[in-house]
Amino acid sequence: MKIHILPPAVADQIAAGEVVERPASVVKEMIENAIDANATQIDVFIKDGGKKLIEVRDNGTGMDPEDAEKCVLRHATSKISTIDDVFAIRSFGFRGEALSAISAISNFEIVTKQEKDDAGTCVKVDAGKLISNSPSPANNGTIFRVKNLFFPVPARLAHLKNSGTEMAAIRREFESFALTHPHIGFKLFRDETVVLDFPIGKQFDRVTKVLGEDSSALIPVEGNLPAAKIHGWVLQPGRCGTSKKSQLLWVNGRHIDDHKLAWAIREAYHQTAGIEKHLYPKFAIWIELDPLLVDVNVHPRKTEVKFSEPGDIWSAIKNTVTSGLQRSERSSLSAGGTVAQFTESQTPHRTSSFRSPSFSGGQKRSAANFSRELFTQPKSFSDLHAERSGAIEEEPAPVGKLQLVGQVAKKYILAEAENGLWVFDQHALHERQRFEMFWNDRETLLKEKQTLLVPHTPQLDEEQRELLLKKRDQLNTLGFELDENLNVIAIPSLFTEKDLDMLLADLSEWIGDEQIGEHTSDKLLRKILEYKACRGSVMFGDALQPEEMQKLLDDFQTTQWRNLCPHGRPNHVFWSFEDLDKEFHR
Ligand code: ADP
Ligand code: MG
């Protein structure tokens, strides 16, 4: 074949693949444009997960008839003129390719009017071909209607997920903008019903709503560095969970996925509060940088950015979160009467700072070492249990009397035994004990169900509903009764209706986690009981009375799988006096 230049519509359809991956990408581009046009109210209407219709209305500047036609051309932008402008960009758009791409692969319509004009304009484009440009009644601002997305490229259409999943992605995109722009009102409609409504208001209110947390569960973080300003909110360490959702980061107002920065935040939790790294805090954090220090032009969909000093940003974010956590810890310490108050420098922050060389001989009881041994030679008590916790003792070895010394930093319980010193993670310890109680009683627990007075419709997004539906039959053998629309008719007596939304959201997350392997009924049951065990347990950060602590210590004597919490974290470390003596060269 001889070389020929592709017709612009075909070139646009190819390029569209880079910008528009799915309906949510259209929503993103349209909202960005509306914000760039100074809108104060943005309404998004979705039909059939965006496959039928994506409509975005704004009350921004609008366009005149000439621009309304020009804006769908490739490289049509009012935002930059030279390449240098890209590096100082403050608006979202600059590539001038979103509208050309979207209009190349849909039935596209613009209705727009500027305040100074009497009449508006309506421009129609089908698969990149201009159909009409005519005067039209319009309010000030712009309406974009995208119908039948991907119809000229059926191969792309086939790649779309079902409507519920596409809607969930749209919702995440929408929330990201709503969180960042509290001075703009946002409404999301699904098939004509409002599903999210954010009136103009405080950023914090939007954050609590989107993260689904009480305001008291969130800790503000703030960093004012010469090259970066950081602000946002992070979750109380004791409430970290296994879900990676709700880890939200923005750089100069752009929502980004950056695993390294998320890791920096987990590192701060680990070092400050001893939170294990497989537990994830929810957070919403905004980083403002000099635009010259960050390259936003590395990815056509702009979900990644390149920092000129990535290491500095990493430390900046880690330090900011660390000091937020420390500040909150100090204020909660001074508020409660703890048995033993340690200053920060005296508190062992890192679990890894429990040094191991001295555990090499004699009575090594460091949970980490202990569980490692057990991982290599598991005795079978219950294979099911072994799959995740590894630590199994058929008969727990006697510990001897444990004498309470006190509580440290509202997190750890110190106890003296005849032969050494025990330090317990109070949450992990209690959680393990509760889990065992439920696990041992599981047969009876499952038989006791309660029928709800009125069926409960869980608060779940489409993605979560679909995941749960896959396991409906199994859940129905485990004390739940869910109808085919996931309305909850009955629940195991061990739960209350109040637990349901969180529990089901948690389960859907677990069902979606491919690392679990096969999601058998036994594992599902275990997960449900873990949830129950975790929720009712004393938290990291709870001040405990001496009697409460002594009770935990007494119960530890009969705890079967003693070394780990249900999630597989150690719940204690032990130093024999012999080891301590050696440490001090006695
Ligand atoms: P970019 O945003 O990169 O400039 P787009 O293709 O998204 O490229 O938009 C092209 C141009 O259309 C914009 O530069 C802007 O001038 C105009 N435009 C797009 N959306 C709107 C809107 N909602 N209100 C006013 N003007 C808009
Ligand atoms: Mg744009």
Same domain, 240 and 210: yes
Same domain, 98 and 113: yes
pLDDT at 1: 72
Count of beta carbons in the 10 Å neighbourhood of residue 75: 8
Q: Which of 290, 310, 334 is the last residue of a domain?
A: 334
pLDDT < 70 positions in the chain = 79-83, 85-95, 296-305, 332-397, 514-515, 561-569
pLDDT at 217: 92
Cα 126 from chain centre: 38
Residue 451 lies in a domain: no
**Ligand 1 centroid from CA 174, angstroms:** 18
Same domain, 245 and 177: no
Give the C-alpha distances (Å, rounded to integers) separating 473 from 220, 384, 480, 518, 524: 42, 20, 9, 15, 12
- Nearest ligand to the C-alpha of residue 141? 1
Best residue for ligand 1 mutational test, from 31, 36, 177 (most atoms within 8 Å of Cβ): 36
Residue 265 lies in a domain: yes
Task: Find the domain containing 292 and state its range.
Answer: 204-334
Same domain, 119 and 241: no
Same domain, 330 and 239: yes
**Ligand 2 centroid from CA 60, angstroms:** 14
Q: Is 63 in the pocket of ligand 1 (CB under 6 A)?
A: yes
Q: Is 178 in the pocket of ligand 1 (CB under 6 A)?
A: no
Q: Which of 183, 201, 219 is the last residue of a domain?
A: 201
Best residue for ligand 1 mutational test, from 19, 77, 177, 296 (most atoms within 8 Å of Cβ): 77
Q: Is 95 in the pocket of ligand 1 (CB under 6 A)?
A: yes
Domain count, the chain: 2
**Ligand 2 centroid from CA 89, angstroms:** 13
Residue 297 lies in a domain: yes
> What is the arrangement of strands in the sheet containing 41-47, beginning at the earlier edge strand?
129-136, 120-126, 107-113, 141-147, 53-58, 41-47, 185-190, 193-198
Residue 344 lies in a domain: no
- Nearest ligand to the C-alpha of residue 15? 1
Residue 510 lies in a domain: no
Cβ-contact 180, 255 below 8 angstroms: yes
Same domain, 184 and 155: yes
Same domain, 224 and 102: no
Ligand 1 atom closest to Cα of 141?
24
Question: The tokens of 202 are what?
Answer: 């405080």
Residue 418 lies in a domain: no
Same domain, 193 and 263: no
**Ligand 2 centroid from CA 35, angstroms:** 10
Residue 227 lies in a domain: yes
pLDDT at 240: 87
Same domain, 269 and 211: yes
- Nearest ligand to the C-alpha of residue 37? 1
**CATH assignment of the domain containing 36:** 3.30.565.10
Please provide the distance, in angstroms rounded to a whole number, between the alpha carbons at the two ends of the chain.
87
Residue 197 lies in a domain: yes
Q: Is 389 in the pocket of ligand 1 (CB under 6 A)?
A: no
Same domain, 131 and 162: yes
Q: Which of 142, 176, 201 is the last residue of a domain?
A: 201
- Using CA atoms, how far apart are residues 583 and 568, in angstroms rounded to an integer? 28
**CATH assignment of the domain containing 302:** 3.30.230.10
Cβ-contact 98, 33 below 8 angstroms: yes
Count of beta carbons in the 10 Å neighbourhood of residue 496: 10
Q: Is 302 in the pocket of ligand 1 (CB under 6 A)?
A: no
> What is the arrangement of strands in the sheet containing 449-456, beginning at the earlier edge strand?
449-456, 488-492, 481-482
Decide: helix, strand or coil at residue 300: coil
**Ligand 1 centroid from CA 34, angstroms:** 8
Same domain, 70 and 152: yes
Best residue for ligand 1 mutational test, from 31, 66, 99, 115 (most atoms within 8 Å of Cβ): 99
Predicted TM-score (pTM) of the model is 0.62
Give the C-alpha distances (Å, rounded to integers) separating 99 from 25, 110, 138, 447: 12, 10, 20, 58
pLDDT at 360: 26
Same domain, 242 and 186: no
Radius of gyration of the chain (CA): 28
